[in-house]
Structure formats: C-alpha cells, structure tokens
Structure 1
Amino acid sequence: MSTVTKRKFISIGSFILGFGFFGALDGIIFHQILQWHSVIMDTTRAGQIVSDGVFHLAVTIALVIGGFLLWLGGNPTEHTKGLRMLIGGFLIGGGTFNFVEGIINHHILQIHRVKPGDPNALMYDLLFLASGILLILIGFMIRRVATSKMKAMDA
C-alpha cells in the first residue's frame, strides 16, 4: 500500500474516530451522567432510551470504522507529521460532531436542547456550537502545520 493511501486512511480514520468519540462523550455526559436530555425528548421514557440506544450504536459504529481505517493507515509516526495529521483530524471530527449535531438537533429539528427547561438553554446550545467551531479551528491549525511541512518535504 502506498504512503499516500496510508495517509488518507489516517486522515479519514482520525476524522471518523473523533466524530464517534465526541458523539460517545455527548451520550455519556449529557444523556447518561447529567441526564439533561435524550436524543428525542418528546416521547415516553422508553422511547428516549431507544433513541439514545440507536444513537450509541451509531457512534460505536463510527468508532469501529475510524479505528479500522487507522489500523489500515499503520503507525502515524512512520509518516511525515503523521501524528499531527491524526490529532488534527480527530479534533476536526469531534468539532464537526458538536457543530452538526448542534445545528441539526438543537436548532433545525429542535428535538432537544443541551439543557432543556433551563432559562439559559440558548446559551448552552450556543456554547456547544462554539466548542465545535473551536475544535475544528484547532484541528485545522494542527493539520495545516503538518500539511505545509509535508508539501515542503515532497518538493
């Protein structure tokens, strides 16, 4: 397998792993520990448990796929700035989860809020979106340093 292909596996795998990891964190922290919300709030308790279960299954599948792609990519330290590619992709994936989930579920579909019923619910939703944007920006900064150095070495 070529070095370029392995780098693509690391790049895509780290993004999917980050997406799944931050989805799992969302489910563990907000759904289970804090019990602030479920995926679908306007249903019975059993419906909320089922919706959370489907959500956990989806993020677990993302974790497995991301891990498999990273395994195909091999050791990231064997590639020029491979560890930065991995960390950057992971943060971009996690930030993308927070941003996309926040926009779709909190604002467009309005199936739940980060902390429903709280007088500051909008603030929690906006902070969740901001955390996604911040993670994406940090991830891109880390990857950009890695990508620009790789291109300079390839030239």
Structure 2
Amino acid sequence: MPLTHPFQSDLKRTLTATFPLGIGMMAAIDEVVFHQLLAWHHFFEWGTPAFSLLSDGLLHAGELIFFVLGFFMFADLRSRSKLNRKAAWAGFFFGLGAFQLFDGIVDHKVLKLHQIRYVDNILLYDIIWNGFGLLLLLTGFLIYRHARAAAHPVTGG
C-alpha cells in the first residue's frame, strides 16, 4: 500500500530514489559475503594482497556513498508525501539487479578485475550470478508495472 494516495505519489522519483539503495545493498552483500566471509575474490585481484584488501575498502566506500545518496532522496520524497511504496520496492530491486549484472558482465568479463570464484569451470558460477541479476531486474520490472497500474487504474500507465 503506498504511503500516499497513488495519484499524489511520484513513481519516477521514487524509483530513482531507491535505485541507489539497491546498488548499495547488493554491493554490501557482495563485499561482505563473497569478499570477506567466503574470501572468493577481492575487487581488484591485481598486485599484492594489501592492494586487493585496499580495493575492497574502496568498494565499501562506494557502497556507502550510494546508501547516503539514496537515503536522502528517499527521505525527501517521504517528507513531501510523494513516496510510493510499490515504486520504492521496484527501484530497490532494479538497483540490486543492475549492480549484480554490471559486476558479472563488466567487472568479471570485460575488465577482468576478478572472477566470482577461482575454479576450473567458472561457467556455472557466471550463469548463476548473472541469472540472479536478471531475476532481480525482472522482479523490479513487475513491481513497477504493478505500481503504475495502481497509480493510473483507468489507463494502466
């Protein structure tokens, strides 16, 4: 249920406000789970272990910037009673999926900063990693479609 009446909320600004929160959350999950707990990789695998650890710290700083940006955008919309809860979830899932796919395609394959895990057959890991990113994007799309339909019940958009 939206925080305000659907006709008064701002779907696009809500989506934009929560997108960086999703990016920051997925970056945090990646960094904590895959970099620290499982120790499968670092953000940059080039050079010394100290440099690799420093690169993880830089990733952590970047995720915090996205959290702060998203939080202030979210708080502004909420204070003006323009926040739409469904669109907020859609933006959050779009951010989660966008980070996951960017990391899986650009960081892992194009720039070759690191792999998900250093094993002989990486294909299964790549398929799961990128497939999960696509699933998150699809979830965001479906939620946003539902939010638009609820905001514009006569036209659906």
Q: Could you state the TM-score of these two structures normalised by the residue count of structure 2?
A: 0.86
Is 1:29 paired with 2:33?
yes
Aligned residues: 149
Helix, strand or coil at the partner of 1:32: helix
Helix, strand or coil at the partner of 2:117: coil
Helix, strand or coil at the partner of 1:51: helix
Is 1:110 paired with 2:112?
yes
1:99 shift after superposition: 0.3
1:84 shift after superposition: 1.1
**Unmatched 5+ residue regions in structure 1?**
none
Where do residues 3-152 of structure 1 align in structure 2 (5 Å cutoff)? 3=8, 6-74=10-78, 82-116=84-118, 118-152=119-153
Assess if the C-alpha contact under 8 Å between 1:8 and 1:73 holds in 2.
no
**Unmatched 5+ residue regions in structure 2?**
1-7
Kindly report the root-mean-square deviation, in angstroms, between the aligned alpha carbons of the 2 structures.
2.1
| Mapped partners of 2:127, 2:135: distance in 1 | 12
Helix, strand or coil at the partner of 1:152: coil
Deviating runs (4+, > 6 A) in structure 1?
A: none
Assess if the C-alpha contact under 8 Å between 1:7 and 1:73 holds in 2.
no
Q: Could you state the TM-score of these two structures normalised by the residue count of structure 1?
A: 0.88
| Mapped partners of 1:147, 1:55: distance in 2 | 34
* Identical residues among aligned pairs (%): 31
Which is further off, 41-50 or 29-38?
A: 41-50
